[in-house]
Structure 1
Amino acid sequence: MPAANAPRAPRRSRAARTAPPLGSLTQAAHRETAACSHCGSERVTQLSMNLTDGTPVQFVSCHVCEERSWLSATGPLTVDGILERTRKH
């Protein structure tokens, strides 16, 4: 058993990971330009997410007309399609 005041062995350092810059939604340079597919407004919230089944989608919600849409690599998804893909079997 080491003595109470014995120096510790140095910890192994982890390989440095480079994280992507987070940016800021309040700064225009960090915002992606998107438009509502219903009314054309650019006042939208856009989020990238993966559904429960692993499908990557872009969720777009309009602040003007309140339209919500989910876009996958194969095109737009319906609400029923989203619910089916997020249902745990």
Structure 2
Amino acid sequence: MIVPALAGGALRFSALKEAVAGVSSKVLTETLRSLQRDGLVHREVFVDHTPIRVEYELTELGRTLILPLAALRTWAETYAPDVLKARDVYDAGSE
């Protein structure tokens, strides 16, 4: 959910947390660090601001994920009813 949130450009932590509804600060921080480590997200600290401002943005590599993730989201939205039906059929046979 972070990649689509950053697809429009750099965001501060608080704006990113708002865009990724329901995520805790701890999980968001850990995920951002992981994405930084993988080279997908760039973190920039602006020390000339009071208070210090930190922004996150997708790297060139990170931007390559935008289209595949959008396609996956479209697939999930299209076929969610089929998946839920398959689960119901499976669960009914497991009883």
TM-score bracket, normalised by the shorter chain, equals: under 0.3
Structure exhibiting the larger radius of gyration computed from Cα positions: 1
TM-score of the pair, normalised by structure 2: 0.20
Higher helix share: 2
Bigger relative CO (Cα 8 Å, ≥ 6 apart): 2
TM-score of the pair, normalised by structure 1: 0.21
